[in-house]
Chains A and B, each alone.
Chain A
Amino acid sequence: MPKELQSPMDSANPAQDVQGIWGMTIDQDLCTGCQACVAACSMENNVPFVGEVDAGYGRSMQWIRIERFWQGSYPNIKATPYQPVMCQNCHNAPCEPVCPVFASVHSASEDLNLQVYNRCVGTRYCANNCPYQARVFNWRDYMDPRQRPELVTLSNHWNPDVTVRRRGIMEKCTFCIQRIRHAEDTAASENRDIRDGEVVPACAQACPASAITFGRINDPATKVSQAADTSRGSHLLEELGTIPHVTYLAGGA
């Protein structure tokens, strides 16, 4: 396509100080829907359990969910592949401009979509505007053992690297930003660049089928950009122009 006809949104990040854009591929042909990523993510990120009643009412707080649809009745069922969905860390994130208090902002250097918990006042506009429904809200103080002793099952196992959130604020998948920062600090102290595969988010680490790959997608040498670059790759709701950083791989060779 001639350059002047290209959509302005396709022209990656205009900021000159891009250090590296983090991205992910999820191979739906490998995914077995075992939910190990959901459990690992919850443990890593101090995601609370909300209890049976609230979960049944659509208030479960997992940052990653595995979607699956089927048609027909047993045994003639036509099912879609498993589809793990988390925050897609869009380049043009619809959740960001609608926040009145800058709780949802963009990291220009890494093209990440950040959520600043202590700025959030709980208008929930970002969650409405997220086409992927990737955001979750703290409907109650699920983490407070005084209020819900039956829900706090692993309160001694909270991850000290991640903030515990209170009621009334919005949260979402961060691409395990605490692990990204840890790797960056290590690399800086050793005076080198981050190696490919050095940052592994909890979901990718736990995946028994190795369906999730994480790394820098602006570097063509990384495993993640090579996987995303094949004809098997596609983005969720690509037509909205949000430019997500998660690529789904399915079908073909």
Chain B
Amino acid sequence: MSDSTMLLALFEDIEPAANGIERLHEMGIADDQMNVISGVPIKDTILGRPSALSHVSRIALTGAILGFLLGAFLIWGTPYLFPLHVGGQPLYPVPQFLIIVFEMTMLGLMGFAFLGMFVDSGFPSYTPKEYVREISDGKIAVLFRCPSGEERKIVDALKKLGAESVNPAEARQL
């Protein structure tokens, strides 16, 4: 987009970062035009940000259902395909069903939660991204899209609120 630039404001602490985000709101920058990058998770309400959307739970639930079905097939489906009698036990036993289905459901749940985290966050990705290494030293970065022409005003406002630096964000190899 030619009529806007990406800026990255770096804050030392949570308090100035929260104030900075509030100021950005007042200056007409919408929530979907900004993102917060931090070295520790910070609750959205602390920063006055809307809650981020996550599909991980739903993907995990799908995995649990698939795991349940796989488990049910293994314990009750395979004896149907190749019936073999052992020790006077039924071909389709119930206690063993509970055990196998439990393990497979849990495997599906957690396996898909793991995969869901990858899919929903777009991992793994090795393309250049807007980032500075100070973030993993505990600084908080606010990345936002700023309408062109207003950079000066916004930079001054954020610096007044305690931003360490406000620079044009450039995507670089992580």
> A: which residues have CB within 8 A of B?
9, 91-99, 102, 104-106, 108
Contact = CB atoms under 8 A, between A and B. Distances in A.
A9 B89 CA distance: 11
A108 B85 CA distance: 7
Contacts of B84: 102, 105-106
Contacts of B86: 93, 96-97, 99, 102, 104-106
5 contacts: A95-B87, A96-B86, A99-B86, A102-B86, A105-B86
B85 A94 contact: no
B50 interface: no
B97 to A, nearest CB: 14
A9 B85 contact: no
Interface residues of B, number: 6
Contacts of A91: 88
Given A92-B87, A96-B87, 16 more contacts: A91-B88, A93-B86, A93-B87, A93-B88, A96-B86, A97-B86, A97-B89, A98-B87, A102-B84, A102-B86, A104-B86, A106-B85, A106-B86, A106-B87, A106-B88, A108-B85
A98 B138 CA distance: 55
Contacts of A102: 84, 86
Nearest to A8: B88
A37 B88 CA distance: 30
Interface string B78-91: 00000011111100
A113 to B, nearest CB: 9
Interface in B51-72: none
3 residue pairs, one from A and one from B, having the closest CB atoms: A92-B88, A96-B87, A96-B86
A120 to B, nearest CB: 14
Nearest to A91: B88
B12 to A, nearest CB: 59
Contacts of B87: 92-98, 106
A99 B89 CA distance: 13
Contacts of B85: 105-106, 108
Nearest to B83: A108
A96 B88 CA distance: 9
Nearest to A97: B87
Contacts of B89: 97
Contacts of A99: 86
A9 B88 CA distance: 8
Most A Cβ at <10 Å: residue of B84, B85, B86, B89: B86
B19 to A, nearest CB: 63
Nearest to B89: A97
A104 B89 CA distance: 13
A95 B85 CA distance: 12
A95 B89 CA distance: 12
A112 B84 CA distance: 13
A116 to B, nearest CB: 10
Nearest to B96: A97
Nearest to B85: A106
B100 to A, nearest CB: 12
Contacts of A93: 86-88
Nearest to A116: B84
Contacts of A105: 84-86
Contacts of A104: 86
A242 to B, nearest CB: 9
A91 B87 CA distance: 7
Nearest to B82: A102
